[in-house]
Amino acid sequence: MTTSITPLIAGNWKMNGLMASLSEVQKLAEMLTRGTAPRCTVAICPPATLLARISEMAASSGIVTGGQDCHPAQSGAHTGDISATMLADAGAQFVIVGHSERRAGHGESDDLVRTKAQAAFAAGLTPIICVGETEAERRDGQAEAVVGRQVATSVPEEAQAIDVVIAYEPVWAIGTGLTPTTDDIRQVHDMIRAQLIERFGDSGQTIRLLYGGSMKPANARDILMVENVNGGLVGGASLLANDFYAIISAV
Provide the annotated active-site residues: 99, 169
Summarize the chain as % helix, strand, coil (round to 5): 50, 15, 35
DSSP E strands, the chain: 8-12, 41-45, 64-67, 94-97, 126-131, 165-168, 208-212, 231-234
**Contact assessment for residue 55 and residue 90, using Cβ atoms and an 8 Å cutoff:** yes
3-state secondary structure of 158: helix
3-state secondary structure of 182: helix
The angle at the Cα of 36, spanning 54 to 230, to the nearest 5 degrees, equals 70
